[in-house]
Structure 1
Amino acid sequence: MADQAPAPEEPATRAEDRIESVRVRRAPKISVFLALGAGVGILVALILTFSFGGASDVSPNTGLVYTQGQVFGFLALICITAGVALGAVVALILDRRSSKHTREVRADHESVHTDEP
């Protein structure tokens, strides 16, 4: 007869089940507001770049002539930063506003613990 290995013992498990009271609210996704703010900043920089026709003039401060691409780059740095900051402020305002509309719900919290060697 062949020697058979003993069957492995199943680990002991114990489960806890309790009802808890939790607070639920809807919160805005801040990353969406930051991305929208950056998009609005790019759009504003694009509009400002082509709305003023001074790209062929010599700058009075530096004495250089800047191309429209360079002007767009400078304006994009400023407008994207301002747009992201504005998006963050709007998201924080909406987050504060949504924190007032919390509600309490009851949730079933189940946790299973195993005793593994």
Structure 2
Amino acid sequence: MEPQQHNAQPSPESGPSRPIEVTVRSSPKFWPFLVTGALIGVFAAIVSAYTGEEAVEFTRGAVLGFLAVFFGMAGLTLGAIAWLVTDRVLRKRTRRATAVPLEGPNAAH
């Protein structure tokens, strides 16, 4: 999870630097949730294709291909829902903080 900050930059004319109120919260990364959901769906397709009875009309590879698409999409959807729930839970843990701008030669570092 990566922290996000909403910074209000003071204008250069504001004189001496003053503390700034910022909002700090953790936010989960979106893509790992989607990839994990899709991989779980494809794994479920592999298990389903090779544990069931073999169909007369289709090979196991064809069945695996169809199931991988459908289960992969279902896993992708469930991964997106899991991301939304996690983001909603972490949004409740948002906190306010005071940031103090640095002055002098070390301010740019």
Q: Give the shorter-chain TM-score range.
A: 0.7 to 0.9
How far is the alpha carbon of 1:104 from its aligned partner?
A: 0.8
Q: Distance in 1 between matches of 2:80 and 2:101?
A: 34
SS in 2 for 1:21: strand
Q: Return the structure number with greater relative CO, CA threshold 8 A, min gap 6.
A: 1
| Equivalent position of 2:6 in the other structure | none
How far is the alpha carbon of 1:108 from its aligned partner?
A: 3.1
| Equivalent position of 1:66 in the other structure | 58
Q: Which string of whole-angstrom CA distances, capped at 9 and with x for unpartnered residues, describes residues 36-55 of structure 1?
A: 00110110000000111223
Of 79, 85, 93, which residue of structure 2 is paired with 1:93?
85
Q: Which string of whole-angstrom CA distances, capped at 9 and with x for unpartnered residues, describes residues 12-34 of structure 1?
A: xx687342111111111111100
Matched, 1:37 2:37: yes
- Structure (1/2) with the larger strand percentage: 1
| Equivalent position of 1:61 in the other structure | none
- Structure (1/2) with the larger helix percentage: 2
Q: TM-score, normalised by structure 2?
A: 0.74
| Matched residue type, 1:28 | P
Q: Show the 5 A alignment for 1:1-117.
A: 17-55=17-55, 57=56, 65-109=57-101
Q: Which has the larger radius of gyration?
A: 1
SS in 1 for 2:100: strand
SS in 2 for 1:50: helix
Q: Taking every aligned residue pair, what percent have the same amino acid on both sides?
A: 36
Q: Post-superposition, which runs of at least 4 consecutive aligned residues in structure 1 deviate over 3 A?
A: 14-18
In structure 1, the gaps of 5 or more residues are 1-13, 58-64, 111-117
